[in-house]
Amino acid sequence: MGNCLFSRRGRYATTQQKKLVDGESCATIASVVAAATAPTEAASASASAASAVQMRALYDFEKQADDDLSFKKDDILDLVDNSSGEFWWLMRNQRTGDSGYVPCNYIQPYDGGPASLTAWFDVDRREAERCLLMPGVPHGSFILRPCGQRSESGAFSLSVRTDEDLEAQQQQQQKVLVRHYIVRPTDEGGFYISPNRRFSSLIELLEHYQQQQDGMCCQLGLPCPREYVPPPQLRDFELNRQLLSFVEKLGQGSFGEVWKARLGRLLEVAVKSMKEATMNKADFLSEAEKMHKLHHPKIVQLVGVCTREEPFYIVTEFMPNGALTAYLRRDNEQGRRVTFGHMIDMLFQVADGMCYLEQKRFIHRDLRAANILVGLNNTVKVGDFGLSRCIEEEAYCFKEGTKFPIRWTAPEAAKSKAFTHKSDVWSFGILAYEVVTRGGLPYPEYSNCDILRLVCGGYRMANPSCPAGGVPCDQFLYESVMLACWRLEPAARPTFAALRNLLENYFVEKQPQYEH
């Protein structure tokens, strides 16, 4: 069974690697490399240490530039040089013998440690549940991941998909389909889930529960498959437009068309074509360059731009289910499979992405469901930064004549044209209304001309509990999120960090040895 836990190329390379699996610390990619390439007394020793660092490919990759390195999933790559930055390293492919640059988000350490396991995902509890609840993931699939409890030093978490209680689930009773266990270390360097059953290594523990249930929710099957392939963080901001092949027109925006396309043979992308004379090239490049520096799982990744000739293209990762507004409205027409729990999770993901933007001093200015994009299994990401600017000041003022969405705009921003993080928070409250009403229009009974006057006078939308097509919206969400975001005084509104924490812990399942 061991070959399903590690790469197909084998379990261990050295005794030192085995020690890491037997209980020493799980290192990140950066710390693995830092430890192995630390300065030594002799240059030859340093070079030898660097060459000893190995990585395993998580996905296929086709090179986009002459000095990139193509590889296949599970290829073993030797580190040659990591001085080019945190996103791209020079490596040699053991299978082909070729050398070149590889994107760091496509590889994981191959040092014998926990992160070398095929079952290892560097995700939190919620993301593990999304991966395991993807359609087609079989009963018994599992993920080994970092432990979210600070008090559990040296521990890991094991998340397991179990299809128990399917009959109850079909009757719409709330049943958990993913169970979480803490894998704790022993003083002797081993691991255990139950104190009565201890193992000398993680490999031994996982193989044991693959062979028998022994008190677990089910017998372990295979590690969870990696369905989502992230966009590589390309080194070259300016892309070769000849590498783009257009597949399907997705829509028409105010600035141009939106297409599904392929970059090379492997990478699906979305391409926005910008109409001539709709944007100053310098402004366009400045905007896109700032977006290119944003890297977060809940932010739509900018892959690059094409500006050598018109029309300009802006190339982003492809989100197959489109805008959240349309997604929720389709769901309303097709059986309402998106539950209130799913909606809370979507709002958590948006708050997570906005918390990152807040930390990076970005103001979105157009936060609404139409600008949230949906991937697989209700994964959502913050997108469409057409109005965003990286700011040095606390507020950004619109130029005279710039249009903005009044139904989503905070009253102080609508009056002064000055936008802040707290005006984004107001918009988040409106977005929450959209989500629980399955894409409903905010202030449906009022025209755009009336909204600002009403809001400034103290009017707030009522709790949208059980509207046509919506879901029961509990009073806690209405008061703690919506009304809190709609406080007239910006300083009284919560931060995105506070909203993220509230939504993350909205539902807490109580399970034996359950961790969050």
Residues placed in the known binding site for ATP: 272
* Rounded Cα distance, 424 and 485, in Å: 9
The binding site consists of 272
Indicate the burial class of 491 (C-beta count within 10 angstroms; 0-12, 13-18, 19 or more): exposed
- Distance, in Å, from the CA atom of 18 to the CA atom of 369, rounded to the nearest integer, reads 48
Q: List the structure tokens of 60.
A: 């296929």
Question: Helix, strand or coil for residue 226?
Answer: coil
Selecting among 366, 424, 450, 474, the annotated active-site residue is 366
Eight-class DSSP state of 223: B
311 prior amide bond cis, ω within 30: yes
How many other C-beta atoms can be found within 10 angstroms of the C-beta atom of residue 97? 7
Q: Is the dihedral of CA 385, 389, 393, 397 positive or negative?
A: negative
Write out the DSSP string of 370-428. Answer: GGEEE-STT-EEE---TT-EE-SSS-EEPPTT----GGGS-HHHHHH-EE-HHHHHHHH
Q: Is 111 left (phi over 0), alpha (psi -120 to 50) or beta?
A: alpha
Q: How far apart are CA 194 and CA 207, in angstroms?
A: 15
Q: Is 366 a catalytic residue?
A: yes
Which amino acid is it at 289? E
Please state, in angstroms and rounded to a whole number, the distance separating the CA atoms of residues 27 and 32: 6
Element containing residue 158 per DSSP (H, E)? strand 156-161
Nearest Cα residue to 225 out of 147, 116, 141: 141
- Residue (of 244, 176, 202) closest to 508 by Cα position: 176
The Cα 8–Cα 205 span in angstroms is 19
What lies within 8 Å, CB to CB, of 297 at 6+ separation is: 127, 352, 381
Rounded Cα gap, residues 435 and 334, in angstroms? 16
**What is residue 503's three-state secondary structure?**
helix
Q: Which of 53, 216, 31 is nearest to 122 (CA)?
A: 31
Active-site residue set: 366
